[in-house]
Structure 1
């Protein structure tokens, strides 16, 4: 099956709204939607009565924050030259949105749009803080900070081999923050429940670095795949997956999570199949599209199964 064509200005015609919406890479926002569902599920499963209005606002502005992060990442990858130098990209999965490179948006338009989206999150966050408690300010600032530091100088976590840690932190904060809005105080439950999902989301970033590694290296972007080289780095994918599923099984086995959460571990079939393909084709970018799709599927299905189990299973010995 052929992949979608890269964006062009002609495709969007005179519709600037469609152009800007597409620049956020909306298909990839599903991981934030599912992270938010996990946060709602941990609160509901713990006996909290959900506030539907605050739930919808939390999910909506989490998506806006993720969209802003995507756009800012495109801007800084354009400034660094990483996307322009990427000749082995697998669009739409790697190599950025191509909006700047294909003259759909200018770098200045992209920067204003990305930072504008993050600015929109602030008033919503203040309202939700008023509804839930001042602790949300710390969670929100941490989330915005990670979103900025992931791409932007001087930290540029993604260019220093720290992108995966940033992704794990960002999606844990989505889960913890969504739970906090409903619960009204911090709890270890959403972090315990969400860590396996956050690690599988980080593996999406990780496998995407393999097709991009030559362009990243040419632009001085030192991802883990650039630092280690594909033949060594390919084992990191399996290590991340093993740690994610081991965490989930360990938490279920020690009664920190409901037994039905173990069903989410069935997605290891997808992760390990993707890992097998990566081991075979780590230096053949054109062959990695199936593994990338499996990785995305594993994270999304894992999160959905986890959210369902957390919301509707009986919780043994969980402290709210």
Structure 2
């Protein structure tokens, strides 16, 4: 129910932010990176559990795919929905406890106030995506919320763990990946559209026509690639190898566009998102180690 594959992807995106910081010449002790990840994983699991709790009714109606329809754990096990809520509270408490321990004002302090604030924001907004009082996904704000959380806030958390803060250049550098995250959300929510509509969850897939969704997919894909090129040539936010590692995997969005809304199983945008995260991380790591010029 914690969605281990997604936790692994979250760790990769965290690594992207860390590599970006080192690629920009920052220095940090390995302990800070380890503690930052240790606090992140139970926090992310807490958000997943809260989503499983809120979407229990939806997940029972939808046809699951490897990348949509929730984990399926509650439906398959027959365990009570309340288990997900208890798990969300418990894992969230573990994440906060590790965060407090990492930021405690003692000689062993390894995390600063900025990464702590970013992670708390991820926890709160992640919960409010699913549960009351805001229930953002039920008010038509789910895609925007998840794009900001997974595409912007998460890599910036990794960046801030190393640097102690967030810069405008770092925020801009997250834009291409965030746009790919948005396209991925369009693809993964399409199979759940009927179940989501039945329970009142207002995703774009429940509100827009197939043609409009494909237009958003295409424009999002072009914006992702275009922003990476712009960041490379207008202000040199991206070094060359980071640009290549970010743009080259986006070729997967081309077949994704043609199959989107025509097939129920999401795949191209999911794979592209993972490859963009991995390619960008490798690019920044090469710059950080001096293997290539920044």
Is TM > 0.5 for Structure 1 vs Structure 2?
yes
- Whether the 8 Å CA contact 1:204–1:295 is kept in 2: the answer is yes
The CA deviation at 1:232 is 2.2
**Among 90, 102, 118, which residue is 1:128 paired with?**
102
Between Structure 1 and Structure 2, how many residues are aligned? 282
| Worse-superposed segment, 244-253 or 136-145 | 136-145
Aligned pair 1:199/2:173, yes or no?
no
Alignment match of 1:42 (pick from 14, 17, 20):
20
Distance 2:241 2:270 in 1: 22
Counterparts of 1:237 and 1:206, CA distance in 2? 7
Match of 1:265 in 2: 247
Q: CA deviation at 1:256?
A: 1.6
Q: 1:186-265, aligned counterparts within 5 Å? A: 186-254=166-234, 255-263=236-244, 264-265=246-247
| Selected match of 2:92 from 118, 126, 150 | 118
Matched, 1:148 2:127: yes
How far, CA to CA, are the matches of 1:69 and 1:239 in structure 2? 29
| TM-score (norm. length: structure 2) | 0.89
Displacement of 1:112 in angstroms is 0.3
Structure 2 unaligned residues grouped into runs of 5+ = 105-109
Superposed counterparts of 1:8-157, under 5 Å:
23-78=1-56, 81-86=57-62, 89-130=63-104, 131-157=110-136
Q: Which residue does 2:107 correspond to in 1? A: none
2 CA distance for matches of 1:241 and 1:66? 26
Once the two structures are TM-superposed, the CA of residue 37 in structure 1 deviates from its matched residue by 1.1
CA distance in 2, matches of 1:315, 1:168: 30
Residue 278 of structure 1 is matched in structure 2 by 260
**How has the CA–CA distance of structure 1 residues 202 and 57 changed in structure 2, closer, same or farther, with 3 Å as cutoff?**
farther
Shift of 1:223: 0.6
Contact 2:253 2:268 in 1 (8 A): yes
- Distance across 2 between alignment mates of 1:179 and 1:306: 13
Deviations 1:6-57 (A, max 9, x none): xxxxxxxxxxxxxxxxx11111223312211111111111112232122122
Distance 2:223 2:132 in 1: 30
Task: Mark the runs of 5 or more structure 1 residues left unpaired by the alignment.
Answer: 1-22, 282-286
Is the Cα–Cα contact under 8 Å of residues 64 and 72 in structure 2 kept in the other structure?
A: no
Runs of 4+ that moved beyond 6 A: none
For 1:270 and 1:116, how far apart are their aligned partners in 2? Answer: 38
Distance 1:58 1:73 in 2: 23
| Segment drifting more, 55-64 vs 165-174 | 55-64
Q: Which residue of 1 aligns with 2:154?
A: 174
TM-score (norm 1): 0.82
Q: CA deviation at 1:141?
A: 2.2
